């Protein structure tokens, strides 16, 4: 899978090289492959790069496309990562209640599949930044209520809410 060739440059911070590999992977998956897993993986990787570049609207589009695919495929493991990405981008775009709900839903989804909360450790800093800003913007009680509501949504309802 061509997309994996972008992971080393991504981890090295060579974002242009990473994007080239991820976009090539996306193109191949769209044009030549009946396997849709590489397609959602390309969207996830491109979403991460967009986050790193501060292009949160672009990241959101990639995470939405990827979440839609994981939902269609019944890919429970990766759905949580797309919810997390959408929660992070919501927070960076100032949608704090949405961020808290989606991050709560992502946490529950990842716990439910036994998946680690972060694929990449550097993504933890963004999570902490978004959660901290949401706590301040919403206040501690409203933040906790939104977070707990997200945790109890269930993956199906969280996916529908995230795709709206």
Domain CATH code at residue 142: 1.25.40.10
> Look-up: residue for tokens 């919810």?
83
Tell me how many domains the chain contains.
1
* Assigned token pair, 84: 């997390």
Cα–Cα distances (Å) from 83 to 15, 90, 122, in that order, read 23, 10, 17
* Cα angle 128, 131, 133; round to 5: 105
Q: Give me the pLDDT at residue 1, please.
A: 65
Residue 114: φ, ψ to 5°:
70, 20
Element (H, E) at 67: helix 56-73
Q: Which structural domain range is residue 156 located in? A: 2-163
How much is the pLDDT for 33? 66
Distance CA 152, CA 47 (A): 26
Closest CA to 120 of 65, 52, 20: 52
CA dihedral 53, 54, 58, 60 (to 10 degrees): 120
Tens digit of each residue's pLDDT, the chain (164 residues): 677 889 899 989 999 999 999 999 899 888 876 677 888 999 999 999 999 999 999 999 999 999 999 999 999 989 999 999 999 999 999 999 999 999 999 999 999 999 988 887 778 899 999 999 999 999 999 999 999 999 999 999 999 999 98
Q: Are 45 and 82 in contact (CB under 8 A)?
A: no
């Amino acid at each position: 899978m061509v997309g994996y060739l972008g992971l080393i440059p991504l981890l090295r911070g060579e974002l242009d090289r990473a994007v080239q590999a991820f976009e090539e992977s996306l193109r191949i998956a769209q044009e030549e492959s009946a396997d849709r897993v590489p397609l959602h993986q390309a969207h996830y990787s491109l979403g991460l790069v967009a986050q790193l570049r501060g292009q949160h609207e672009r990241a959101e589009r990639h995470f939405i496309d990827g979440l839609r695919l994981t939902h269609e495929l019944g890919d429970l493991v990766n759905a949580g990562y797309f919810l997390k990405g959408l929660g992070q981008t919501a927070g960076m775009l100032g949608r704090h209640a949405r961020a808290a709900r989606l991050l709560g839903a992502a946490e529950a989804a990842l716990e439910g599949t036994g998946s680690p909360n972060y694929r990449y450790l550097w993504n933890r800093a963004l999570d902490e930044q978004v959660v901290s800003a949401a706590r301040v913007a919403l206040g501690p009680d409203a933040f906790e209520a939104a977070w707990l509501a997200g945790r109890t949504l269930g993956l199906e309802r969280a996916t529908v809410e995230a795709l709206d």
